[in-house]
């Protein structure tokens, strides 16, 4: 086993699942920009240990290009409207949903099978526990596809991804536009949430 593989397995052993789920329950109702989420919001949502494990798996992915080299990408399988093979990385990588952040397929097993399993368990158990507690935000974690919970965003960004797939638009240009729209969407979601809080 390589050094980085052993390190990841050790990290998985120190992830406290109960602690992560308790953190999720404490903070999930405070999130106003779902289904999109940032690194900082993930840290707040699940805590330091989960955030560190995800960051390490992402570093392995970047180094080994596991997703980029995969012939059967998870993105089109789950119906993500923003997927295009021409993108070297998710066009909303910095805002990608929780499901995308915590899902690592069997191709990651050699880099840390225990971490893959643990992150999956934390994701599903946190949603199940929140749903049992009466949270109405659980449905927002069922993304991608994004259209159900972010219809306005997909209305303006899906045509850009489609143009990239068809070769009509440069991927870099499309990504810049998609990122701007995602940031605008998050700002709108936050302001809408604040308006609802006003008496």
Q: What mean pLDDT value characterizes the chain? A: 88
Contacts 24+ apart (CB under 8 A), 164-173: 164/84, 164/86, 164/87, 165/84, 165/85, 165/86, 167/86, 171/84, 171/86, 171/87, 171/88
Residue range 46-72: mean pLDDT, rounded: 88
| Of the candidates 143, 185, 179, 142, the residue with the CA atom closest to the CA atom of residue 160 | 179
How high is the pLDDT of residue 60?
Answer: 87
How high is the pLDDT of residue 112?
Answer: 79
Q: List the chain domain ranges.
A: 3-197
Task: Give the pTM.
Answer: 0.85
Q: Are 161 and 170 in contact (CB under 8 A)?
A: no
What contacts 38, CB < 8 A, 6 or more positions away? 94, 95
Q: What percent of the chain has pLDDT over 70?
A: 89
For 67-110, the pLDDT digits (tens) are: 888 877 789 889 999 999 999 889 999 999 999 999 888 888 77
| Of the candidates 85, 78, 89, 70, the residue with the CA atom closest to the CA atom of residue 35 | 78
């Amino acid at each position: 086993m390589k050094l980085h593989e052993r390190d990841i397995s050790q990290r998985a052993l120190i992830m406290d699942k109960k602690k992560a789920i308790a953190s999720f329950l404490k903070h999930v109702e405070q999130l106003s920009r779902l289904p999109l989420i940032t690194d900082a919001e993930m840290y707040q949502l699940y805590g330091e240990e989960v955030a560190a494990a995800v960051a390490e798996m992402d570093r392995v992915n970047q180094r080994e290009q596991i997703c980029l080299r995969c012939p059967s990408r998870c993105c089109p399988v789950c119906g993500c409207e923003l997927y295009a093979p021409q993108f070297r990385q998710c066009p909303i990588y910095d805002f990608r949903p929780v499901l995308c952040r915590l899902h690592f397929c069997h191709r990651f097993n050699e880099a840390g099978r225990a971490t893959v399993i643990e992150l999956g368990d934390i994701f599903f158990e946190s949603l199940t526990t929140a749903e049992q507690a009466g949270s109405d935000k659980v449905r927002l974690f069922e993304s991608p596809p994004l259209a159900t919970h972010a219809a306005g965003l997909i209305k303006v960004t899906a045509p850009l991804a489609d143009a990239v797939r068809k070769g009509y638009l440069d991927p870099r240009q499309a990504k810049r536009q998609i990122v701007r729209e995602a940031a605008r969407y998050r700002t709108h979601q936050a302001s809408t949430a604040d308006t609802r809080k006003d008496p």
